[in-house]
Amino acid sequence: MGSKRMTSLLNAFTSLRRRREADTTKKPARSSASRVIMPSVDIAPDDPLVEYLVGAPEPVELKQLHLDTPAVRGLREAGVTLIIPLVSQGELMGLLNLGPRLSEQEYSRDDRRLLSDLATQAAPAVRVAQLVREQKSQERERERIEQELRIARIIQQTLLPKELPDLPGWRVDAYYQPARAVGGDFYDFITLDDGRMALVVGDVTDKGVPAALVMATTRSILRSAAQSQTSPGEVLERANDLLHPDIPPKMFVTCFYAVLDPRTGRLAYANAGHDLPYHRRGENVVELRATGMPLGLMPGMRYEERETSLAPGDSVLFYSDGLVEAHNIEREMFSFGRLMEFLGAKANGDDSLVERVLAELAAFTGAGWEQEDDVTLVTLERAERPHDDASHAGSSPAHLASDEHWSSIDSFTVPSAPGNERLAISLLENALREITIAPRPLERLKTAVGEATMNAMEHGNNYHAELPVEVEALLSGGRVMVRITDRGGAPMHEPELPDIEAKLAQEQTPRGWGLFLIKNLVDEMRVTSDGTRHTVELIVSREGENHASASL
Amino acid sequence: MPAQAFNAQVRREQPRAVILDLHGEINGFAEEALNQAYAEAESVRPDTILLNFSDVDYINSTGIALIVGLLARARKQHIPLRACGLSDHYMEIFTITRLADFMGLYGDEASALASAPAGPAKPSESA
């Protein structure tokens, strides 16, 4: 029994006593003496008096009580002469404290029996009253928690995307199921000015309103940084530096930030301590690994930036730890290994990746699963065959190559600086090292890619080093394709056809060989532009026999 | 693949032939060194200038333009320009661009010098 409870009882008793005295106002001779109000006496639960009274639940005259405890002293100072313990089910519920009789006589045996009977009746009633009050208090606390959870849910659901991005040739899906306690999961899609899409999956430590508020702040910071920074690593760096000064102690945010170019399938990404997404190609599943500390822990962090390419049929699963840390009734965890194994298994039917993962999770956890944490899934799936959306016809490199199934081998970028076409050639050689390709078409392709990269750096990106040239190597049976993309947007300027005799006669500039060489070194050249980006596709036969050599 | 800075040495192998030994990559960065070497070669008024590409592993379109510029200069001065030591790939590039129509291409230095004309160069000489 807490001391507060005991105090309350004393007050209640005092009130009762006052009311009773008020009823006797018709007897003025006694009323003045009865107006004495006893001060409250706090009795600590571990005061020896409590144990004494529970052991002997009878009226006790204080002057005969040989016990010197803080409670006894307090009662005596308050003018109490007789205490009647209220004991119910072996627990001291309170005390009836009486001062001296108004007649100034001792309490008689009958008085004490009467008071004892009264205590016997009152104790259970007091217990019930206390239980009711405790119940009401718990109810209020539950309502407060429920209200807080409602607010947290509203914050999160208001800020999660209302619609999924509509990317021709892609299937984007998302699923978010908050746990009862509402964790700090979030995801977001941000359309960038150059037609690319940023994708964010994150998780705030803690739960409820604090996590929801940090999630809202992080989302805003990331949205702002995404528009002002060009690379995923820089976005996370900026977000971390903005978040760190204001995030509450012991809280942080894990976050995976990726930028997809839906036209080429290139996916650049950086990671702030989040669970690694899985990239699925056929039955191969690899983690998209990049290192970096969670946001908000320390200022001045740097984030590794990586890049991959999503070929037709490829998919990527982004998720939160609520998925891999889900437990079944045997307390086994769903785990990364199980998820990876599942993703690598052959898929049947037309269900989306999200639907299949959720079905696997449900089969694992069984019916009646009490979700421990938020579960968030976001998937990117590139269509097996390039889309035939007429609105994009002619503007998408994927569309241009629609007759063949091209698989991406590798992709990379080179900064737009004079001489960097050599870097592109070197990286291309490295990308093709596992591919069987005859020396002659390989040399032709290298030179053509070098020239196309020079054009992209000079004419497309005006040698702005911060604008990279993107290069992707793809394979389709006996043919190799290399895509070179710049940010020029405008179609390539077709120079005057070089004429060696006019050049030697100095009627033409000695320059202007680049495009001429490209066209004469590859089997096929395709050019496309979407107004923002300009792409050249160069195709050669791996055997070299398809090439119409030196078609002058 | 680290970039190899271009340099050229001028060498007189025969009384009337000057050889330019080219090293590195022939691109826009090579312009000054290449033109200086050529100026040194033409200053002795040789019968033939031979460009030795044995130690050249990369020529881009700007490099082709530089060679076209040298060829135009040589033709103006009636000095035959020859080339040796080109890889099969760059032999093909010289064929595609028709440089091969206006300058003799030889497998090595010896065969290039062996076929050098004894008398004054003819402006229209081709391989």
For A450-465, write each residue's pLDDT tens digit: 999 999 998 888 888 7
Whether B52 shows a pLDDT value over 50: the answer reads yes
CB atoms within 10 A of CB A295: 31
Does B25 lie at the interface with A, CB-CB under 8 angstroms? yes
Does A426 lie at the interface with B, CB-CB under 8 angstroms? yes
Dihedral Cα A176, A179, A180, A184, nearest 10 deg:
-80
Distance from CA of A517 to the nearest CA of B (A): 8
pTM of this structure: 0.46
Whether A370 shows a pLDDT value over 90: the answer reads no
Does A552 lie at the interface with B, CB-CB under 8 angstroms? yes
Distance CA A94, CA A81 (A): 16
Instruction: Pick the more confident residue, A494 or A249.
Output: A249
Whether B53 shows a pLDDT value over 90: the answer reads yes
pLDDT in tens, A79-91: 899 999 998 888 8
In this prediction, residue A385 has a pLDDT band, given cuts at 50, 70 and 90, of low
Q: What angle do CA A136, A141, A146 make, to 5 degrees?
A: 125
Residues 6+ apart with CB under 8 A from B9: B20, B21, B23, B37
Does A488 lie at the interface with B, CB-CB under 8 angstroms? no
Q: What is the pLDDT of residue A250?
A: 86
User: Quick check: B53 and B8 in contact, CB under 8 A?
Assistant: no
Distance from CA of A223 to the nearest CA of B (A): 39
Q: What is the pLDDT of residue B59?
A: 96
Whether A401 shows a pLDDT value over 70: the answer reads no
Whether A391 shows a pLDDT value over 50: the answer reads no
Rg of the Cα atoms in chain B = 13
In this prediction, residue A327 has a pLDDT band, given cuts at 50, 70 and 90, of confident
In this prediction, residue A425 has a pLDDT band, given cuts at 50, 70 and 90, of very high
Q: What is the pLDDT of residue A159?
A: 82
In this prediction, residue A537 has a pLDDT band, given cuts at 50, 70 and 90, of very high
Whether A7 shows a pLDDT value over 50: the answer reads no
In this prediction, residue A491 has a pLDDT band, given cuts at 50, 70 and 90, of low
Choose the closest CB to B102 out of A447, A498, A504: A504
Chain mean pLDDT for chain A: 82
Whether B105 shows a pLDDT value over 70: the answer reads yes
How much of chain A exceeds pLDDT 90, in percent? 31
Per CB-CB distance under 8 Å, the chain B contacts of A504 are: 68, 71-72, 75, 102
Whether A34 shows a pLDDT value over 80: the answer reads no
Instruction: Identify from B91, B96, B101, B102 which residue to disrupt to test chain A contact, counting A C-beta atoms within 10 A and taking the largest count.
Output: B96
Does B91 lie at the interface with A, CB-CB under 8 angstroms? no
User: Quick check: A332 and A401 in contact, CB under 8 A?
Assistant: no
Lowest pLDDT segment from A531-540, B60-69, B79-88 = A531-540
Whether A435 shows a pLDDT value over 70: the answer reads yes
Choose the closest CB to B61 out of A425, A513, A549: A513
Lowest pLDDT segment from A16-30, A214-228, B29-43 = A16-30
Per CB-CB distance under 8 Å, the chain B contacts of A508 are: none
In this prediction, residue A35 has a pLDDT band, given cuts at 50, 70 and 90, of low
Does A246 lie at the interface with B, CB-CB under 8 angstroms? no
Whether B9 shows a pLDDT value over 80: the answer reads yes
Asked if the Cβ–Cβ distance from B60 to A520 is below 8 Å, we say no
Does A444 lie at the interface with B, CB-CB under 8 angstroms? yes
Mean pLDDT across A193-217: 89
**Number of A:B CB contacts under 8 A?**
76
Quote the ipTM score: 0.89
Residue B47 per-residue DSSP state: S
Mean pLDDT across A227-254: 92
SS in 3 state form for A240-302?
HHHHCCCCCCCCCEEEEEEEEECCCCEEEEEEECCCCCEEEECCEEEECCCCCCCECCCCCCC
Token digits for B115? 């076929």
Q: What is the pLDDT of residue A281?
A: 84
Distance from CA of B65 to the nearest CA of A (A): 5
Which position has the token pair 């009486």? A98
Instruction: Pick the more confident residue, A376 or A156.
Output: A376
Mean pLDDT across A129-136: 90
The residue type found at B125 is E
